[in-house]
Every structure is written in structure tokens, then in C-alpha cells.
Amino acid sequence: MSVPVVWHRSYEVDIGPHVFPTRKYRMVRERLLAEGTVSSVDLHQAAPASDDAVALVHTADYIRKIKTGTLSVAEQLVLEVPFSPALRDAAWICAGGAVATARLALQRTIAVHLGGGFHHAFPDHGEGFCLINDVAIAVRALQQEGLVRRTVVVDLDVHHGNGTAAIFAADPNVFTFSMHQENNYPAVKPASDLDLGLRDGASDAEYLALLEKHLPELLASHRPDLVFYLAGADPYRFDQLGGLGLTISGLRRRDEMVFQHAASAGVGVAVCLAGGYAVDTDDTVEIHCNTVRAGEAAVGVDSVQRPMN
């Protein structure tokens, strides 16, 4: 069994000279195909989310502004990427890709979205490179369809998942877990159900020990139908927007732990790539590829341990 991978060429939006390398999505896909980790039959092309699905999370006024290109100067400044119709279209496709990835994860144990993780978007505004919150839209869409009741968001981006935390603050069926660098963006961090703020320069050992301490417990206590995993590459020690000390091998071990503990809990994992801004974009691409490789390895182990009846 192979891991299904969701992607769309539109994710590579031209935003000019910027710390956010949108080309990474294409580069990850190309590397995985070239090395044979995934094949063309594993690839699923994302389709745009419906406006109704987006409206499960975002306000009508905010959606109208995006659709008509009438975001204010202040709203565009806090977004921190230049708004364009291409960015809007990519965001809608990305949200649809998140929904598709979640459905595939329910069917296939693990599915990976080569995009997504825009966790700084709030219902009425975007910020921090995030126009709309794809993971929140996917959770709400699956809830509405009756495909999931309880979900856990495991956010391991270097930045706190402020938008996601705010969106689900009053929903007991969605457990939000953010493990991030404390002294980093955003300045204001709305409470997740579990926030673990790491010190600057935290090492592989510190990070992995903390994850090992908390992840199995929260999966056991919340008993989710699905895990949404934001596999950020930006805890990497050479990330331009991060300040943690993780290595590429440490991040690979992080991914393996998430998949192992989810398998032990009997729950599927929908993965999105989230952030990654390394000095050398090739490092970001390798970290993201490792997430898919770890997923492939986990599915292979699971298929050996749990043969089809």
C-alpha cells in the first residue's frame, strides 16, 4: 500500500522576491517522483473548495473581500504576502486539497497534502502568509458530512497555530495541540487545548522528549477519528523564520513518532507541509520529502503488522 499524495501546480504562486519559497511544492513533488517514493498513480490533483465549505470557517464579509479583491491596505500588510487572484485561487484549491487529503486518510490510514497548513488565518482576516485556514475548513467540512466527530490537530510548525486555536476554542470535539518556539511569531497566542512553547535553540532531544511525553496521552484521552498533522519544516536549525535547533534527522524522527503513535491509537493521519524557509531551500525540500518517506515507511510497517482479512 502506498501513501496517497494530493497536490496542484497552482500552489506555486508568483509572489516575487520573498522568504516564502512557493516553488518548494513543485520541488518536493519532483524529487519524490524522481526517486520513486511516489508514483503517478499515488498523485491526486486537488480541486477548489466550494464557497460554502470556506464559509464554514470564514465570515461572509471576509470571503467577499477576497473574492472581489477589496482587502484593505492594512489587511494586506498583515497578510505579509502580496494579494492577487492567483493567491486567492491557490488558497481555494489548497482548502479543497485539505478536504481531499482528510478523506483519503480516513480510507488509507495516511495521506499527505503537498501544500497547506495555513494556520494563522482567522475567520475574519488572514495573517502570516495565510489567506484562509485550510485545515479548519477541512475539519468543518468533514464534521458537516458526518465523516468525523472528534479530531486532533497536531501542529508542529515552529510558529504557534493562532488562527486554528481561535477557530476551535469553543469546540470540544476538536483538540488543538501546538508545539512551537515560544519567542517567535505571533506575539499574541490564543490558547490551544495544549500549548508547548519551546525555548530558543531547543535541540532534537528536548523536542522529541516533549513530543513523546504528550502525544500518546492526548491521543488516548481525546480518542479522535482523525489527526490533522502540520509537519512544518521550520523547526530546522537553519530556518530563516525559526529559532529552534532541530536537525533534518531529528525532524524525520518527529514525523516517525507522529505516525507511530497515531497507528498505536488506531487513527488515520492527514498531513500538510506547513512552513519551511531554510537558508537553503533544498533543505526545506528534503525535510518535506522525509515526511512523505516516513509516511510510506509507516504504511509499509502497518500493512505487515495488520494484514488484510
281-294: pLDDT as tens digits: 999 999 999 999 99
Please determine, for residue 304, whether its predicted confidence score (pLDDT) is greater than 50. Answer: no
Whether 287 and 232 have beta carbons less than 8 Å apart is answered as: no
Please determine, for residue 199, whether its predicted confidence score (pLDDT) is greater than 80. Answer: yes
Please determine, for residue 302, whether its predicted confidence score (pLDDT) is greater than 80. Answer: no
In a 10 Å sphere around its CB, with 0-12 CB exposed, 13-18 middle and 19+ buried, how is residue 142 labelled? buried
Q: Which residues pair with 174 in a beta bridge?
A: 151
| Edge-to-edge strand list for the sheet holding 151-155 | 43-45, 5-7, 110-113, 268-272, 226-230, 151-155, 174-181, 194-198
Please determine, for residue 159, whether its predicted confidence score (pLDDT) is greater than 80. Answer: yes
Please determine, for residue 56, whether its predicted confidence score (pLDDT) is greater than 80. Answer: yes
If you average pLDDT over residues 171-200, what whole number do you get? Answer: 98
Q: Which residues pair with 229 in a beta bridge?
A: 154, 271
- Share of residues in the chain with pLDDT > 70 (%): 97
Q: Are strands 110-113 and 5-7 parallel, antiparallel or unpaired?
A: parallel
**pTM, two decimal places:** 0.95
**CA atoms of 161 and 139, how far apart (whole Å):** 15
Phi/psi at 109 (nearest 5 deg)? 80, -55
Phi/psi at 112 (nearest 5 deg)? -125, 135
Please determine, for residue 307, whether its predicted confidence score (pLDDT) is greater than 50. Answer: no
* Per-residue confidence (pLDDT) for residue 164, from 0 to 100: 98
* Per-residue confidence (pLDDT) for residue 300, from 0 to 100: 80
Please determine, for residue 191, whether its predicted confidence score (pLDDT) is greater than 50. Answer: yes
Across the chain, the runs of DSSP E, i.e. the strands, are 5-7, 43-45, 110-113, 151-155, 174-181, 194-198, 226-230, 268-272
Please determine, for residue 305, whether its predicted confidence score (pLDDT) is greater than 60. Answer: no
Per-residue pLDDT band at 98 (split at 50, 70, 90): very high
If you average pLDDT over residues 197-208, what whole number do you get? Answer: 98
How many CB atoms lie under 10 A from the CB of residue 31? 17
CA distances from 31 to 20, 43, 116, 288 (A): 19, 13, 19, 10
* Per-residue confidence (pLDDT) for residue 285, from 0 to 100: 98
Please determine, for residue 306, whether its predicted confidence score (pLDDT) is greater than 80. Answer: no
